[in-house]
Structure 1
Amino acid sequence: MNALKGALSNDEWKGYEKWAFRIFSIYFFIQAVPLDWKFYRNLFSINWLHLRFSDIFYVSRYTPQIFSDRTSTGWGLNTYADWLVMLGITIVGAAVWTYRDKDAKDYNKFYYWIRVIVRYRLAIGIIAYGFIKFFPLQSPYPSLSNLNTHYGEFSRWKLFSLSLGIVPNYESFLGLVEILAGSLLLFRKTSTIGALMVVVFTGNVFMSNLAYDGGEATYSLYLITLALFLLTFDVVRLFVLIGLERPVQPNRFKISLSQKGQSARLVLKTLFIFFFVFLYGYKTWSVYHHDVYQYPQTAGLKDADGLYDVSEFKINNTALPYSATDTSRWKNVVFEKWATLSIGTNKTVKIDSAVTEEINDKDADRSYEEAGSIGRQYYSYQIDVANQQLILQNKNHNYPNDKLVLHYTRPDNSKLILSGVEGRDTVYVVLNRIDKKYLLEEAARGRDKAIKL
């Protein structure tokens, strides 16, 4: 199709070129422009007087959904089934367009504007993820419980995320690449470079989602298709210039706007960049310094964070010795700085998965710490200081009825005694804090000699 008339010459378009343009332009218009009523339902639900970083993120990430919402927030991601339906709509639309517009000689102006729409849609999509990597929020540093979970007890996607979380500088570099690519897309003269960067970078993201069972393979492929559509504009010239080493003419096609039109374009572009780049970047920075959204923010039991060995464990007043196979006895307990404790056990549980990027304001909905892992039972808790009780709720969404009320005493700063009812049994647990050193933390302090763990 001569790259959809990449040079935008004054020559009359061939029939197959016009057919191809009608199909591609309708399809990408449907994919890029929010025509889905659910988008506007969620848009009007935003409190614009107290705009949150997550509000801008979901506006930037949203894709048209035909069948249903797939996330608790309602700002879902579409599926390949949605794509097929949109393709069907596209073919019908292209057929009607062809019948009603038989005399058209070219679609140069239409092609220009559809590229503008796709450029800006792709830019905000890639920038939205760039900032949550640049300020390492998407894959935060592993929690204390994660550091005390066996490697084989993590899902592949959780291992991938944790591996990125332990190198925040590298994560920030990846975010910077995405921000740069998105910024280049905001300007016509650099859009091809930005689109090429997206294809290479997001192509790696797409393959990572496939290899590690991530949940955003469809969305990353969606961004890639937008970038490929933009690349078709210059692909022939690039091939001739680089592949055949022959000179080519640059594209000089430009839409003529009135003075008022130029002023309106400048104002709209300035507002767009301010909202999706500067405001969003500032709010992401603020979240990074005040509220890492992957982890709960409610403070836990004071000065209790750490790893504890279970030195004594009783069920119904019967002591259970250490065992590598016992499914009833606790192996160890971790208290986080926030109001989460995790219990190492041998119980078989249904894994709680979270493989798409979701930003939750409520601690109860923040599931990153326990998602994608087995071997530990994660509980959020409330502290009843007057009665010295911990009111526990299993954080795994597959066990909503798993609740415990444990009385606690603290003979000293290194010991905790818990007692209460677990299911139909009474439990009594003596915990002793372990002064454990972690290789990651020791290495971060710059030690250059052997470490005994």
Structure 2
Amino acid sequence: MNTISPSENTHWSFLKKISFRFFFSYFSLFILLQNNGAYPYFGFIGNFFKNLFYNFVPGIGKTFFGIEVKIPTGPSGSGDTTYDYVLVFSIALIAIFSTLIWSLIDKKSKNYLKMYYWLSLSLRLYVGLMLINYGLVKVIQLQFSPPSFSRLTQTFGEASPMGLAWTFLGFSKGYNLFMGLAEVAAVLLLFRRTLTFGLIITLMTTANVMAVNYFYDVPVKLLSTHLFLMAAFLFARDFNKAWQFFFFRKPVSLTSIYQPPFKKGFKIFLIAAKILLLSYVLGYGTINAMASKERSIQAKAALPLRGLYEIEEVSIQKGKEISDSPTEINGWKNLLIDHKEYALIQYKNGEKLWFTVKIDSLAKSLQLKSTSADLKEYTFTYHEGVDGDFYLNGLYNKDTISIKTKRTLDYREKFLLTNRGFHWINEVPFNR
């Protein structure tokens, strides 16, 4: 790495200055308004500007796109909402307007080396910290959890593209570790000497994430696209040299990003700030991720009645007689309890219905209320038998209902996907 930096007297072309003005305005606004937790504690600042845009963006949507309905602005779990798209369009409009005004006012500047340094630092931190955060939760397999009961009893055809991707990615601990380490490698972006090498890795990582989000309909398309564009913007200064080196085998010399001359005290401050930031992100980030993983494991372990219940026999007593007449419960195939608030009932005809669940361990009672409009409700008492037998007893339409089930806790043994294991040697492909 050649650390010789370009001179402050370097003349930028007119097109280069115009491009920089746009990207400086655009990326600065995007980071300010869509920080997504990249900068620690940045929300205190960002929320002020977000609240301003909550009132501004709907007007842009109505003016340019004819959106008459109220655009929801609150969090929804999706990063690709109508509000997000109109916000990005608004940012682009402001950046274009800013570029025009800036170009009219500033006709004397030869270059923007100092501003490029601060913009590149902001982008390196934004992309780097974002990917480190995402990488840490992948390393411990927290973002993509192993397939749940409901996933494993679902057919491929019933899964959404995003659900299929989450099942594929969550299946393997090893692949999660691989993805996580590739994203954590973005720590190389935080050092100017390792920036180019880190960008090569980051461009491949963000391109892959962006492709998954696009082609599996994951609602993080806007964010992943911007992470890729930011990495591409940073790599643009070395693109020609990389092209010459890889495709024409010409010797090249890389230079560090120009750093403005700082006073010694400020340099020490920057170094100390970087050390603290890295310690916080890598140290606290790792501790926090591990703690979240442990809480998730404990919550699963402490969940009462967690398991897969296969319905073996349904007995219905009308008064003093045992009835063989079919009821809605006769159509049950499986009862899945894998969440503290929800349960899933699978029917023999393939239908599925979600229920809210309330469990009283002391009274040994189980209450199910459907989340659909039909408002089906069941209340059972339960007790365990032998060899995994589990019994539910209650009333339904004034009839006494007794249900015998087979409870399975370690569901992995029941499914080929989770019990196949790893094989070095395969005489023939095992493709099922």
TM-score using structure 1 length: 0.74
Give 1:34 shift: 4.7
Bigger-Rg structure (1/2): 2
State whether structure 2 residue 405 is matched by structure 1 residue 432. Answer: yes
Secondary structure of the residue that 2:177 maps to in structure 1? helix
Separation in 2, partners of 1:128, 1:8:
36
Query: Partner residue of 2:24?
Result: 25
Give 1:150 shift: 2.6
Separation in 1, partners of 2:317, 2:79:
45
- Segments of 4+ in structure 1 off by > 6 A? 38-42, 73-78, 445-449
Query: Partner residue of 1:334?
Result: 336
Alignment root-mean-square deviation, CA: 3.9
| Aligned counterpart for 1:392 among listed residues 352, 363, 368 | 368
Farther off after superposition, 146-155 or 91-100? 146-155
Separation in 2, partners of 1:218, 1:425:
54
Give 1:21 shift: 1.1
| Aligned counterpart for 2:208 among listed residues 204, 213, 221 | 204
Give 1:336 shift: 4.1
Separation in 1, partners of 2:42, 2:377:
33
Give 1:438 shift: 3.2
Structure 1 pair 35–136 and aligned structure 2 pair: CA distance change class (3 A): closer
| Aligned counterpart for 1:142 among listed residues 134, 140, 147 | 147
| Aligned counterpart for 2:196 among listed residues 181, 192, 206 | 192
Give 1:386 shift: 4.6
| Aligned counterpart for 1:239 among listed residues 238, 243, 265 | 243
Separation in 2, partners of 1:432, 1:35:
49
Separation in 2, partners of 1:90, 1:118:
17
Secondary structure of the residue that 1:268 maps to in structure 2? helix
| Alignment-mate amino acid for residue 168 of structure 2 | S
> Which segments of 5 or more consecutive residues in structure 2 lack a partner in the other structure?
48-52, 59-71, 427-432
| Aligned counterpart for 1:415 among listed residues 386, 389, 392 | 389
Structure 1 pair 83–426 and aligned structure 2 pair: CA distance change class (3 A): farther
| Aligned counterpart for 2:266 among listed residues 255, 261, 284 | 261
Secondary structure of the residue that 2:331 maps to in structure 1? coil
CA deviation digits over 1:211-270, x for unaligned, max 9? 222111222112111111111121122222323333334325332111111011012112
State whether structure 2 residue 410 is matched by structure 1 residue 405. Answer: no
Contact 2:78–2:220, Cα closer than 8 Å, also in 1: no
Secondary structure of the residue that 2:290 maps to in structure 1? helix
Structure (1/2) with the larger helix percentage: 2
Q: Pairwise mapping of residues 105-144 of structure 1 onto structure 2 (< 5 A)?
A: 105-144=110-149
Give the total of aligned pairs.
Answer: 391
Query: Partner residue of 1:79?
Result: 84
Separation in 2, partners of 1:447, 1:312:
45
| Alignment-mate amino acid for residue 239 of structure 2 | V
Contact 1:320–1:329, Cα closer than 8 Å, also in 2: no
Query: Partner residue of 2:69?
Result: none
Contact 1:297–1:338, Cα closer than 8 Å, also in 2: no
Separation in 1, partners of 2:34, 2:365:
51
State whether structure 2 residue 19 is matched by structure 1 residue 16. Answer: no
| Alignment-mate amino acid for residue 417 of structure 1 | Y
Give 1:290 shift: 3.4
Query: Partner residue of 1:366?
Result: none
Give 1:102 shift: 1.7
Separation in 2, partners of 1:446, 1:113:
51
Give 1:409 shift: 3.9
Separation in 2, partners of 1:425, 1:8:
88
